[in-house]
Amino acid sequence: MRNCIVIMGMVTGLMFSLFLYAEEMVMEKKPYNKLTVEEERVIINKGTETPYSGKYNDFFEKGTYHCKRCNARLYNSDDKFSSTCGWPSFDDEIPGTVLRQQDTDGIRTEILCANCGAHLGHVFEGEGFTDKNIRHCVNSIAMVFVPDKETKTAAAYFAGGCFWGVEYLFEQKDGVISATSGFMGGVMADPSYQDVIRGDTGHFEVVEVIYDPQKVDYEELVKFFFEIHDPTQVDGQGPDIGEQYLSAVFYETDAEKEIITRLIDILQNKGYDVITRVIPASTFWKAEDYHQDYYARKKQQPYCHVYKKKF
């Protein structure tokens, strides 16, 4: 009898595990674009198109390059250059859109779309083609070009504690194209995370929000920012204490500054003792790759950021 109970328990546990696995697989399935056989060979199975055969190899119109599989923005045309290698070449990506990992050959560094994991190509350093000394070698077939007249974007910069949570919630906001974790406001050039957490560089943990002004305006983004964190906490955000975790909005124009201060006045009239700093924007330094899309990759929720309507 005891053996039967043990066996029944094992079977029940196995069935429950299979159920959770199936549920996870369903949750991860996304409505990506339908690909041709050749596109699947390159994008899914990590193949390479024939050199000089891609339509974007010798192509220099103004616009942005998007992922063929999920339409996420990847590269700006201003970062494209002629390398004569046979594939489209870029010396920079749109922040937070491209992931790197070691290729299975153990030598090269593979690049993938950060949103869907599509194989794009490889990245090389030290070749001296441009001042940035980096080359993203990308398969044309992995991208879709969108002319400038169809893509008008703007940037906004917010500091509200740990950038993982701020980034995560802004990425859910309609009209936001991308959100990237990084640093702003300090005196050190290109700081690392280890530099900033010492608390003596003057940097804030900041999220760069790239958005479509035709779908969401700056004022709505600032309101959203105030509603996803506590702008009254004087020493940080939640359990994260320190100068780098303070609340701040970095403005680029007088019009943006006016919007921020007006919204702060509204909140103060509602009884919120807002301590958010309003600071001119400076250089944005992207944080290390392991900080990007942290909660999405971990399949977790922010621990100290939650939406609360205030306006």
Instruction: Given the residues 67, 113, 162, 304, select the one marked as catalytic.
Output: 162
* Residue 57 and residue 147 in contact, taking contact as beta carbons nearer than 8 Å: no
Report helix, strand or coil for 68: coil
DSSP string, 88-104: -EES---TTSEEEEE-T
When computed from its CA atoms, the radius of gyration of the chain, rounded to whole angstroms, is: 23
Only one residue has tokens 């990590």, namely 46
Look at residue 51 and give its three-state secondary structure: coil
Q: What is the identity of the amino acid at 150?
A: E
Strand residue runs (E) in 59-152: 63-67, 73-76, 80-81, 89-90, 98-102, 109-113, 119-125, 134-138, 143-147
**3-state secondary structure (DSSP) of residue 232:** coil
The SS3 assignment for 59 reads coil
Which single residue is written with the structure tokens 């491209």?
A: 98
Alpha helices by DSSP H, 217-275? 218-227, 254-269
How many Å apart are CA 141 and CA 39, to the nearest integer? 6
CA nearest to 201, candidates 218, 184, 221:
184
Establish whether 162 is a catalytic residue.
yes
- Which residue has tokens 């003057």? 202
Q: What is the number of residues in the chain?
A: 311
Pick from 304, 75, 100: nearest CA to 205: 304
* Amino acid at position 136, single letter: H
| Residues taking part in catalysis | 137, 162
